Amino acid sequence: MTLDRRLNAMRPDIADKRLRGRVEAETFVEARTGVVTAPVAGIRTAPSHDAGLDTQFLFGDRVLIFEVKDGWAWLQGERDSYVGFSAMEALSLDPAPEPTHRIVAPRTFLFPEPELKKPPLTTLSMGSQLAVASEEERRGTRYAVLADGSAVPAIHVAPATEQAADYVSVAERFLHTPYLWGGASGFGIDCSGLVQLSMFMAGIDVLRDSDMQEATIGESHETGGDFSSLQRGDLVFWKGHVGIMVDDRALLHANGRTMSVALEPLAEAVERIEPLYGMPTSVRRP
């Protein structure tokens, strides 16, 4: 079986040591561990800021680094196994404490101290993972404080073990978020990124791209051709696209027409998309 280069670190010149005997490469290397320290790390097809964006890793995500060259790392995400190139400025090789919490708001601010009047250091997306050292309250606002003294509003975090009961409710919180090809964060997101991040917050780890999701998530659901038997949480796939049913008629999806996460009647989406990309290829029920 041919291995998917998106999920296996392999190139003609270098490959993951764990793939020895399965692929050919000049050198096999053992990965170093790293962690994302930027709000998002863009994972690209080549070591260049001009290269296409395949996906994004979030603050606190753990990565396996196989090569560092000219300020770029060739790496693999531990959570979803995606392989690509990231600028080293978004990463750290220093040991990081195990995350205790994660961001549950679509976006939030990281302040230099527990004080909302201070200019924030940066912004963080839902799904970002933090090691919270303590909590502090100032003027009625509680903060989750990190070891370096920086802080986020406590209302915007939850224990890392806490899972959303309904991934669709998570996805609905991204309504009107800008569309970004390869985006996987609250700052900009694409169709399969919306599925992956929403499911992650509900404790379900799924693969990144829509073709991977169509092949692996849940079970195939036969619609009879008229899409009359769909329910909340069903995933409707087209070639290169996926949307989430919020009920038996409405589809939530990040799309290039509105350039946002939008809610649209499924029947209208099918009619609009068909001339460009054909009819839906399948429905999956997680």
Residues 232-285 have pLDDT tens digits of 999 999 999 999 999 999 999 999 999 999 999 999 999 999 999 999 999 999
Q: Phi/psi of residue 224, each to 5°?
A: 75, 5
- Least Cα distance to 73 among 88, 58, 57, 62 occurs for 88
How many other C-beta atoms are found inside a 10 Å radius of the C-beta of residue 172?
15
Q: Which CATH class is domain 101-159?
A: mainly beta
Percentages (nearest 5) of helix, strand, coil residues in the chain: 15, 40, 45
| 149-180 confidence digits (pLDDT tens) | 999 999 999 999 999 999 999 999 999 999 99
In degrees and rounded to multiples of 5, residue 6 shows phi and psi of: -75, -20
CATH of span 14-92: 2.30.30.40
60: alpha, beta or left, given left = phi > 0 and alpha = psi -120 to 50? left
Q: Which residue has the tokens 């040991």?
A: 95
From the list 284, 282, 262, the residue with the least C-alpha distance to 216 is 284
Are the CB atoms for 85 and 73 separated by under 8 Å?
yes
Domain spans of the chain? 14-92, 101-159, 167-285
CATH 3.40.50.300 fits 167-285, yes or no: no
Reported as a single tens digit per residue, the pLDDT across 123-157 is 999 999 999 999 999 999 999 999 999 999 999 99
Question: Same fold for the domain at 14-92 and the one at 101-159?
Answer: yes
Q: Give the pLDDT of residue 228.
A: 85
pTM over 0.95: yes
